[in-house]
Copies of this chain bind each other. A is one copy, B any other.
Amino acid sequence: MAKKTTTKSAPTSPRPNAWAQRDAKTARSLRDLADGVVKSSLAGREPKFDVPTRAASNTKWNKSRGILQMGPASNTRELFSLGQARSFMQTLLHAQSIQKLLQQGKTSSLRGMYYESKHTIAGTKESTFDEQAESDKILEDLEVTLGSLREELHIFADVRGGLVGNITFIDAGDEINARRMGSGGYQIPSIVEPEIIQFAKCDAEFVLHVEKGTVWRRFNEDRFWEKHKCIVTHGGGQPPRGVRRLLRRFHDELGLPIICLLDCDPWGHYIYSVIKQGSISLAFESERLAIPEAKFLGIRAKDYVQCELPEDVQIALNERDIARAKQIREYPWFRDHRGWQREIKQMLDNGFKMEVESLIKKDISYVTETYVPERLAAKDWLE
Protein backbone atom coordinates (compact mmCIF):
# COMPACT_ATOMS: atom_id res chain seq x y z
CA MET A 1 0.00 0.00 0.00
CA ALA A 2 1.26 3.49 -0.81
CA LYS A 3 1.98 5.44 2.31
CA LYS A 4 0.84 8.81 1.09
CA THR A 5 -2.80 8.90 0.25
CA THR A 6 -5.56 11.28 1.12
CA THR A 7 -7.37 8.56 2.97
CA LYS A 8 -5.87 8.89 6.45
CA SER A 9 -8.97 10.51 7.82
CA ALA A 10 -11.35 8.16 6.12
CA PRO A 11 -13.71 6.09 8.25
CA THR A 12 -12.09 2.89 9.41
CA SER A 13 -14.99 1.29 11.22
CA PRO A 14 -15.88 -1.92 9.42
CA ARG A 15 -19.47 -0.98 8.59
CA PRO A 16 -19.95 2.78 8.75
CA ASN A 17 -23.65 3.49 8.88
CA ALA A 18 -23.43 6.27 6.35
CA TRP A 19 -26.69 5.30 4.72
CA ALA A 20 -28.73 7.03 7.43
CA GLN A 21 -29.67 10.12 5.40
CA ARG A 22 -30.47 8.30 2.22
CA ASP A 23 -32.34 5.61 4.12
CA ALA A 24 -34.40 8.30 5.81
CA LYS A 25 -35.45 9.59 2.40
CA THR A 26 -36.33 6.09 1.16
CA ALA A 27 -38.21 5.37 4.39
CA ARG A 28 -40.22 8.58 3.89
CA SER A 29 -41.21 7.49 0.37
CA LEU A 30 -42.25 4.10 1.75
CA ARG A 31 -44.30 5.78 4.47
CA ASP A 32 -45.99 8.07 1.94
CA LEU A 33 -46.97 5.03 -0.09
CA ALA A 34 -48.40 3.28 2.98
CA ASP A 35 -50.06 6.46 4.30
CA GLY A 36 -51.92 6.94 1.04
CA VAL A 37 -53.31 3.42 1.27
CA VAL A 38 -54.30 3.83 4.93
CA LYS A 39 -55.87 7.25 4.41
CA SER A 40 -58.09 6.14 1.54
CA SER A 41 -59.11 3.03 3.51
CA LEU A 42 -60.09 5.05 6.56
CA ALA A 43 -62.00 7.48 4.39
CA GLY A 44 -63.98 4.60 2.97
CA ARG A 45 -62.41 4.96 -0.47
CA GLU A 46 -60.77 2.07 -2.24
CA PRO A 47 -57.06 1.65 -1.44
CA LYS A 48 -54.84 2.38 -4.44
CA PHE A 49 -51.62 3.96 -5.60
CA ASP A 50 -50.02 4.93 -8.89
CA VAL A 51 -47.15 3.04 -10.51
CA PRO A 52 -45.29 4.75 -13.35
CA THR A 53 -45.58 2.71 -16.56
CA ARG A 54 -42.45 0.75 -17.41
CA ALA A 55 -42.91 0.10 -21.14
CA ALA A 56 -41.37 1.15 -24.43
CA SER A 57 -44.51 3.21 -25.03
CA ASN A 58 -43.65 5.31 -21.97
CA THR A 59 -39.95 5.66 -22.78
CA LYS A 60 -38.72 8.91 -24.27
CA TRP A 61 -35.44 9.74 -25.86
CA ASN A 62 -34.25 13.04 -24.39
CA LYS A 63 -32.00 14.21 -27.18
CA SER A 64 -30.57 17.26 -25.45
CA ARG A 65 -29.57 15.30 -22.36
CA GLY A 66 -28.65 12.26 -24.40
CA ILE A 67 -30.44 9.74 -22.22
CA LEU A 68 -33.56 7.60 -22.23
CA GLN A 69 -36.23 8.77 -19.83
CA MET A 70 -39.57 7.57 -18.58
CA GLY A 71 -42.61 9.41 -19.79
CA PRO A 72 -45.42 10.66 -17.52
CA ALA A 73 -47.78 7.68 -17.93
CA SER A 74 -48.74 5.64 -14.91
CA ASN A 75 -51.17 2.92 -13.94
CA THR A 76 -53.35 2.86 -10.90
CA ARG A 77 -53.00 -0.25 -8.78
CA GLU A 78 -56.19 -0.98 -6.85
CA LEU A 79 -57.02 -3.46 -4.16
CA PHE A 80 -60.63 -3.95 -5.25
CA SER A 81 -59.85 -4.97 -8.80
CA LEU A 82 -59.69 -8.62 -9.68
CA GLY A 83 -56.81 -8.03 -12.07
CA GLN A 84 -54.80 -5.86 -9.69
CA ALA A 85 -55.43 -7.18 -6.18
CA ARG A 86 -52.54 -9.62 -6.42
CA SER A 87 -49.93 -7.09 -7.56
CA PHE A 88 -51.33 -4.53 -5.09
CA MET A 89 -50.72 -6.95 -2.25
CA GLN A 90 -47.32 -8.00 -3.62
CA THR A 91 -46.16 -4.39 -3.84
CA LEU A 92 -47.05 -3.71 -0.24
CA LEU A 93 -45.44 -6.97 0.91
CA HIS A 94 -42.16 -6.01 -0.75
CA ALA A 95 -42.44 -2.46 0.58
CA GLN A 96 -42.68 -3.95 4.05
CA SER A 97 -39.65 -6.20 3.50
CA ILE A 98 -37.65 -3.22 2.26
CA GLN A 99 -38.59 -1.20 5.32
CA LYS A 100 -37.28 -4.07 7.44
CA LEU A 101 -33.98 -4.06 5.52
CA LEU A 102 -33.62 -0.31 6.07
CA GLN A 103 -34.26 -0.72 9.78
CA GLN A 104 -31.75 -3.56 10.07
CA GLY A 105 -29.15 -1.77 7.96
CA LYS A 106 -28.75 -4.93 5.85
CA THR A 107 -28.96 -5.74 2.17
CA SER A 108 -30.68 -8.62 0.40
CA SER A 109 -30.56 -10.28 -2.99
CA LEU A 110 -33.38 -10.45 -5.52
CA ARG A 111 -33.71 -14.14 -4.65
CA GLY A 112 -33.72 -13.32 -0.94
CA MET A 113 -36.51 -10.78 -1.44
CA TYR A 114 -38.56 -13.39 -3.23
CA TYR A 115 -38.23 -15.84 -0.34
CA GLU A 116 -38.76 -13.12 2.26
CA SER A 117 -42.15 -12.08 0.87
CA LYS A 118 -43.26 -15.50 -0.31
CA HIS A 119 -45.83 -17.27 1.81
CA THR A 120 -49.03 -19.15 1.50
CA ILE A 121 -52.03 -16.99 2.25
CA ALA A 122 -53.75 -18.26 5.39
CA GLY A 123 -56.69 -20.52 4.73
CA THR A 124 -55.90 -20.84 1.02
CA LYS A 125 -53.49 -22.69 -1.24
CA GLU A 126 -52.60 -19.38 -2.87
CA SER A 127 -48.97 -18.24 -2.63
CA THR A 128 -48.05 -14.55 -2.50
CA PHE A 129 -45.43 -15.14 -5.19
CA ASP A 130 -45.20 -18.12 -7.49
CA GLU A 131 -41.87 -17.31 -9.14
CA GLN A 132 -38.92 -15.02 -8.67
CA ALA A 133 -39.69 -13.28 -11.98
CA GLU A 134 -42.98 -12.08 -10.48
CA SER A 135 -41.10 -10.72 -7.48
CA ASP A 136 -38.40 -8.98 -9.57
CA LYS A 137 -41.09 -7.18 -11.56
CA ILE A 138 -42.71 -5.85 -8.40
CA LEU A 139 -39.33 -4.62 -7.16
CA GLU A 140 -38.89 -2.68 -10.40
CA ASP A 141 -42.36 -1.21 -9.86
CA LEU A 142 -41.26 -0.11 -6.41
CA GLU A 143 -38.10 1.48 -7.79
CA VAL A 144 -40.10 3.74 -10.09
CA THR A 145 -42.91 4.32 -7.62
CA LEU A 146 -40.56 5.39 -4.86
CA GLY A 147 -38.12 7.07 -7.23
CA SER A 148 -35.30 5.07 -5.68
CA LEU A 149 -32.73 2.87 -7.36
CA ARG A 150 -32.86 -0.79 -6.41
CA GLU A 151 -29.53 -0.28 -4.63
CA GLU A 152 -31.17 2.36 -2.42
CA LEU A 153 -33.79 -0.18 -1.48
CA HIS A 154 -30.89 -2.29 -0.12
CA ILE A 155 -31.29 -4.92 -2.82
CA PHE A 156 -28.32 -6.29 -4.73
CA ALA A 157 -27.86 -8.48 -7.75
CA ASP A 158 -25.20 -11.11 -8.32
CA VAL A 159 -21.58 -10.02 -8.39
CA ARG A 160 -19.93 -9.73 -11.82
CA GLY A 161 -17.05 -7.59 -13.04
CA GLY A 162 -13.73 -6.38 -11.70
CA LEU A 163 -11.21 -3.56 -11.78
CA VAL A 164 -7.60 -2.61 -11.32
CA GLY A 165 -5.89 0.74 -11.83
CA ASN A 166 -4.61 4.08 -10.60
CA ILE A 167 -7.11 4.76 -7.85
CA THR A 168 -7.50 4.32 -4.12
CA PHE A 169 -10.98 4.23 -2.65
CA ILE A 170 -12.72 3.29 0.56
CA ASP A 171 -15.16 0.39 0.43
CA ALA A 172 -17.14 -0.20 3.62
CA GLY A 173 -14.34 1.38 5.63
CA ASP A 174 -11.52 -0.57 3.99
CA GLU A 175 -8.90 1.21 1.91
CA ILE A 176 -8.67 -0.41 -1.50
CA ASN A 177 -5.53 0.49 -3.45
CA ALA A 178 -6.49 -0.68 -6.90
CA ARG A 179 -2.86 -0.39 -8.00
CA ARG A 180 -1.96 -3.29 -5.73
CA MET A 181 -4.58 -5.88 -6.58
CA GLY A 182 -2.30 -8.51 -8.06
CA SER A 183 -3.42 -10.62 -10.98
CA GLY A 184 -6.89 -11.14 -9.54
CA GLY A 185 -8.20 -7.63 -9.11
CA TYR A 186 -11.00 -6.08 -7.10
CA GLN A 187 -14.41 -7.66 -7.51
CA ILE A 188 -16.93 -4.86 -8.19
CA PRO A 189 -19.87 -5.21 -5.79
CA SER A 190 -23.50 -4.76 -6.71
CA ILE A 191 -24.04 -1.69 -4.53
CA VAL A 192 -21.46 1.05 -5.07
CA GLU A 193 -23.31 4.10 -3.74
CA PRO A 194 -21.23 6.86 -2.08
CA GLU A 195 -22.33 5.64 1.32
CA ILE A 196 -20.42 2.41 0.69
CA ILE A 197 -17.66 3.51 -1.69
CA GLN A 198 -15.85 6.83 -1.34
CA PHE A 199 -13.15 7.82 -3.79
CA ALA A 200 -9.85 8.80 -2.19
CA LYS A 201 -6.74 9.23 -4.31
CA CYS A 202 -7.15 9.01 -8.07
CA ASP A 203 -4.38 9.61 -10.56
CA ALA A 204 -6.12 7.96 -13.46
CA GLU A 205 -6.93 10.04 -16.51
CA PHE A 206 -9.59 7.79 -17.98
CA VAL A 207 -11.36 4.47 -17.59
CA LEU A 208 -10.94 1.70 -20.12
CA HIS A 209 -13.93 -0.60 -19.92
CA VAL A 210 -13.51 -3.96 -21.65
CA GLU A 211 -16.18 -6.54 -22.31
CA LYS A 212 -14.74 -9.72 -20.82
CA GLY A 213 -12.61 -10.88 -17.93
CA THR A 214 -10.19 -12.62 -20.28
CA VAL A 215 -9.40 -9.38 -22.15
CA TRP A 216 -9.19 -7.55 -18.82
CA ARG A 217 -6.53 -10.03 -17.72
CA ARG A 218 -4.38 -9.19 -20.76
CA PHE A 219 -4.55 -5.48 -19.85
CA ASN A 220 -3.72 -6.18 -16.22
CA GLU A 221 -0.87 -8.57 -17.05
CA ASP A 222 0.66 -5.95 -19.35
CA ARG A 223 0.10 -3.31 -16.64
CA PHE A 224 -1.64 -1.09 -19.14
CA TRP A 225 -3.26 0.93 -16.36
CA GLU A 226 0.16 1.88 -15.00
CA LYS A 227 1.67 2.93 -18.32
CA HIS A 228 -1.41 4.82 -19.44
CA LYS A 229 -2.61 6.17 -16.09
CA CYS A 230 -6.07 4.71 -16.09
CA ILE A 231 -8.51 2.30 -14.49
CA VAL A 232 -9.34 -0.91 -16.34
CA THR A 233 -12.76 -2.44 -15.68
CA HIS A 234 -14.71 -5.36 -17.08
CA GLY A 235 -18.33 -6.34 -16.70
CA GLY A 236 -18.24 -10.05 -17.51
CA GLY A 237 -20.23 -9.46 -20.71
CA GLN A 238 -23.26 -7.18 -20.35
CA PRO A 239 -22.13 -5.15 -17.32
CA PRO A 240 -24.39 -5.46 -14.27
CA ARG A 241 -25.81 -2.34 -12.67
CA GLY A 242 -23.05 -2.13 -10.05
CA VAL A 243 -20.42 -1.81 -12.78
CA ARG A 244 -22.46 0.73 -14.74
CA ARG A 245 -23.12 2.80 -11.65
CA LEU A 246 -19.42 2.79 -10.71
CA LEU A 247 -18.45 3.87 -14.25
CA ARG A 248 -20.99 6.68 -14.00
CA ARG A 249 -19.55 7.77 -10.66
CA PHE A 250 -15.99 7.71 -12.09
CA HIS A 251 -17.27 9.90 -14.90
CA ASP A 252 -19.35 12.37 -12.89
CA GLU A 253 -17.35 12.71 -9.70
CA LEU A 254 -13.80 12.29 -11.00
CA GLY A 255 -14.34 13.65 -14.50
CA LEU A 256 -12.88 10.54 -16.12
CA PRO A 257 -13.78 9.75 -19.74
CA ILE A 258 -15.24 6.24 -20.08
CA ILE A 259 -13.73 4.49 -23.08
CA CYS A 260 -15.17 1.14 -24.15
CA LEU A 261 -13.37 -1.70 -25.88
CA LEU A 262 -16.02 -4.17 -27.04
CA ASP A 263 -16.50 -6.68 -29.80
CA CYS A 264 -17.47 -5.55 -33.30
CA ASP A 265 -20.84 -7.27 -33.26
CA PRO A 266 -24.42 -6.34 -32.35
CA TRP A 267 -23.85 -7.60 -28.81
CA GLY A 268 -20.86 -5.28 -28.33
CA HIS A 269 -22.82 -2.40 -29.84
CA TYR A 270 -25.71 -3.11 -27.50
CA ILE A 271 -23.44 -3.17 -24.43
CA TYR A 272 -22.16 0.24 -25.49
CA SER A 273 -25.69 1.47 -26.05
CA VAL A 274 -26.75 0.43 -22.54
CA ILE A 275 -23.69 2.04 -20.92
CA LYS A 276 -24.34 5.21 -22.91
CA GLN A 277 -28.11 5.69 -22.90
CA GLY A 278 -29.60 3.05 -20.64
CA SER A 279 -31.86 0.20 -21.60
CA ILE A 280 -35.31 0.69 -23.04
CA SER A 281 -37.02 -1.62 -20.58
CA LEU A 282 -35.49 0.11 -17.57
CA ALA A 283 -35.45 3.72 -18.73
CA PHE A 284 -36.03 5.04 -15.21
CA GLU A 285 -32.55 4.00 -14.16
CA SER A 286 -30.83 6.01 -16.92
CA GLU A 287 -30.91 9.14 -14.79
CA ARG A 288 -28.28 7.67 -12.57
CA LEU A 289 -26.65 4.99 -14.70
CA ALA A 290 -26.36 6.28 -18.27
CA ILE A 291 -23.15 7.95 -19.47
CA PRO A 292 -24.01 9.82 -22.70
CA GLU A 293 -20.36 10.84 -23.15
CA ALA A 294 -19.06 7.23 -23.13
CA LYS A 295 -16.82 6.49 -26.10
CA PHE A 296 -16.59 3.41 -28.30
CA LEU A 297 -12.92 2.86 -29.15
CA GLY A 298 -13.28 -0.45 -30.91
CA ILE A 299 -13.29 -3.04 -32.32
CA ARG A 300 -14.31 -1.07 -35.44
CA ALA A 301 -15.51 -2.54 -38.72
CA LYS A 302 -12.68 -0.69 -40.50
CA ASP A 303 -10.08 -2.51 -38.41
CA TYR A 304 -10.02 -5.51 -40.68
CA VAL A 305 -8.41 -3.43 -43.41
CA GLN A 306 -6.72 -0.78 -41.28
CA CYS A 307 -4.98 -3.24 -38.97
CA GLU A 308 -4.30 -5.66 -41.83
CA LEU A 309 -5.96 -8.53 -40.03
CA PRO A 310 -5.95 -12.00 -41.59
CA GLU A 311 -9.12 -13.67 -42.79
CA ASP A 312 -9.15 -15.92 -39.72
CA VAL A 313 -10.57 -13.15 -37.54
CA GLN A 314 -13.83 -13.14 -39.50
CA ILE A 315 -16.90 -14.67 -37.92
CA ALA A 316 -19.76 -14.59 -40.43
CA LEU A 317 -22.82 -12.62 -39.35
CA ASN A 318 -25.79 -14.93 -39.06
CA GLU A 319 -29.39 -13.92 -39.72
CA ARG A 320 -30.03 -13.07 -36.09
CA ASP A 321 -26.96 -10.82 -36.02
CA ILE A 322 -28.13 -9.00 -39.13
CA ALA A 323 -31.65 -8.48 -37.79
CA ARG A 324 -30.25 -7.25 -34.46
CA ALA A 325 -27.80 -4.86 -36.16
CA LYS A 326 -30.64 -3.34 -38.18
CA GLN A 327 -32.67 -2.92 -35.01
CA ILE A 328 -29.83 -1.23 -33.14
CA ARG A 329 -29.20 1.03 -36.12
CA GLU A 330 -32.70 2.44 -35.58
CA TYR A 331 -32.17 3.41 -31.94
CA PRO A 332 -32.73 7.19 -31.85
CA TRP A 333 -29.18 7.93 -30.63
CA PHE A 334 -27.69 5.83 -33.42
CA ARG A 335 -30.23 6.86 -36.08
CA ASP A 336 -29.11 10.50 -36.04
CA HIS A 337 -25.43 9.67 -35.67
CA ARG A 338 -23.52 9.57 -38.95
CA GLY A 339 -20.54 7.79 -37.44
CA TRP A 340 -22.67 4.97 -36.05
CA GLN A 341 -24.72 4.67 -39.23
CA ARG A 342 -21.47 4.22 -41.14
CA GLU A 343 -20.08 1.82 -38.53
CA ILE A 344 -23.05 -0.53 -38.58
CA LYS A 345 -23.34 -0.33 -42.36
CA GLN A 346 -19.68 -1.24 -42.75
CA MET A 347 -20.08 -4.23 -40.42
CA LEU A 348 -23.08 -5.38 -42.46
CA ASP A 349 -21.15 -4.82 -45.71
CA ASN A 350 -18.20 -6.76 -44.31
CA GLY A 351 -20.60 -9.58 -43.55
CA PHE A 352 -18.62 -10.60 -40.46
CA LYS A 353 -18.08 -9.80 -36.79
CA MET A 354 -14.74 -9.47 -35.03
CA GLU A 355 -13.84 -10.04 -31.41
CA VAL A 356 -11.29 -8.16 -29.31
CA GLU A 357 -9.47 -11.46 -28.76
CA SER A 358 -8.88 -11.84 -32.48
CA LEU A 359 -6.26 -9.06 -32.39
CA ILE A 360 -3.98 -11.75 -30.98
CA LYS A 361 -3.40 -12.72 -34.63
CA LYS A 362 -1.10 -9.67 -34.84
CA ASP A 363 0.63 -10.29 -31.52
CA ILE A 364 -0.45 -11.34 -28.05
CA SER A 365 0.00 -7.78 -26.74
CA TYR A 366 -0.95 -5.93 -29.92
CA VAL A 367 -4.19 -4.84 -28.27
CA THR A 368 -2.47 -3.31 -25.23
CA GLU A 369 0.72 -2.03 -26.85
CA THR A 370 -0.41 -0.86 -30.26
CA TYR A 371 -4.12 -0.90 -30.93
CA VAL A 372 -5.52 0.93 -27.89
CA PRO A 373 -2.56 3.36 -27.44
CA GLU A 374 -2.76 4.43 -31.12
CA ARG A 375 -6.50 4.93 -31.03
CA LEU A 376 -6.26 6.87 -27.76
CA ALA A 377 -3.51 9.13 -29.15
CA ALA A 378 -5.56 9.84 -32.28
CA LYS A 379 -8.79 10.20 -30.29
CA ASP A 380 -10.11 7.76 -32.85
CA TRP A 381 -13.40 6.62 -31.35
CA LEU A 382 -17.14 6.86 -31.80
CA GLU A 383 -19.15 8.76 -29.22
Interface residues of A (CB under 8 A from B): 1, 14-15, 100-101, 104, 106-112, 115-116, 118-120, 127, 156-160, 162, 170-176, 180-191, 196-197, 212-218, 221, 223, 226, 234, 236, 310-313, 355, 357-358, 360-361, 364-365
CB-nearest residue of chain B relative to A104? B364
Please report the C-alpha to C-alpha distance between residue A309 and residue B44 in the assembled complex, in whole angstroms.
38
CB-nearest residue of chain B relative to A246? B184
Neighbour of A184 across the interface among B110, B176, B310, CB < 8 A? B176
Interface of A is mostly: mixed
Neighbour of A127 across the interface among B212, B221, B312, B357, CB < 8 A? B312
Please report the C-alpha to C-alpha distance between residue A226 and residue B158 in the assembled complex, in whole angstroms.
23
B184 and A186 within 8 A (CB): yes
B171 and A183 within 8 A (CB): yes
A214 and B184 within 8 A (CB): no
Chain B CB within 10 Å, residue with most, of A120, A156, A216: A156
A107 and B221 contact, Cβ closer than 8 Å, known pairs A170-B182, A175-B1, A197-B182: yes
A236 to chain B, nearest CB (A): 8
Neighbour of A189 across the interface among B14, B185, B188, B365, CB < 8 A? B185
CB-nearest residue of chain B relative to A213? B159
* 27 examples of A-B residue contacts, CB within 8 angstroms: A1-B1, A1-B175, A14-B226, A15-B221, A107-B217, A109-B214, A109-B217, A111-B214, A112-B218, A115-B313, A115-B358, A119-B312, A120-B310, A127-B312, A158-B212, A158-B214, A159-B162, A159-B236, A171-B181, A171-B183, A174-B180, A176-B180, A176-B181, A176-B182, A181-B186, A183-B191, A183-B197
